[in-house]
């Protein structure tokens, strides 16, 4: 069924895969089978930034527990505050906080881009690609700066 049936009827070198933006009018009109299985389509740069936005969101969802735990402890008492501060001097804790805040910064930068696009800026294919590159560059700079600040 499915893939086996379709591919067996085609020559071996027939490209089933629609590569993201290259899905043009011809492909839409043709009677050829179109592969919409997202797992086998190579991601364009806009897809990469979108995927990272999702991944960072999932990391943050679980990271909330860590951040709330630290906040709870640091506000409960002076001893708790000192304990959290002490804990944050360990390399492992620094790495975890760096990872969480990196996810946060990336999610924030990519989110701001979404808001800008909602205003109608950078909505074209070229604009989208440029926006993705800007998101990657800006978030990388911020994440490096964050690392410098933490260590």
Partner 1 sequence: MVTNVTNFSRSGLYDWMAQRVSAVVLAAYVLFLLGFVVANPGLGYAEWQALFSNNAMRIFSLLSLVALSVHAWVGMWTISTDYLTPMALGKWATVVRFLFQAACGVAMFAFFVWGVQIFWGN
| Footprint of partner 1 (CB under 8 A) | 37, 39, 54, 57-58, 61, 64-65, 68, 71-72, 74-78, 81-82, 104, 108, 111-112, 114-115, 118, 149
Nearest distance, CB of residue 82 and partner 1, angstroms: 7
Residue 148 region by backbone torsions, left for phi larger than 0, else alpha for psi between -120 and 50, else beta = alpha
Backbone angles phi, psi at 35, to 5 degrees: -85, 115
Calpha distance 48→9 (Å, rounded) = 33
Q: Which is nearer to partner 1, 14 or 51 (CB)?
A: 51
Calpha distance 19→34 (Å, rounded) = 11
Q: Which is nearer to partner 1, 4 or 11 (CB)?
A: 4
Nearest distance, CB of residue 110 and partner 1, angstroms: 10
């Amino acid at each position: 069924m499915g893939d086996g049936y379709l591919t067996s009827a085609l020559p071996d070198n027939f490209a089933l895969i629609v590569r993201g933006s290259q899905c043009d009018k011809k492909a839409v009109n043709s009677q050829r089978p179109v592969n919409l299985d997202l797992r086998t389509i190579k991601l364009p740069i806009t897809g990469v930034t979108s995927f990272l936005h999702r991944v960072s969101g999932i990391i943050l969802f679980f990271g909330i527990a860590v951040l709330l735990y630290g906040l709870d402890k640091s506000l409960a008492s002076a001893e708790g505050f000192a304990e959290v501060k002490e804990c944050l001097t360990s390399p492992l804790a620094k790495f975890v906080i760096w990872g969480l805040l990196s996810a946060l910064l990336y999610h924030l930068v990519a989110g701001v881009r979404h808001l800008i696009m909602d205003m109608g800026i950078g909505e074209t294919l070229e604009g989208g690609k440029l926006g993705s590159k800007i998101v990657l560059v800006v978030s990388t700079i911020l994440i490096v700066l964050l690392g410098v600040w933490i260590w």
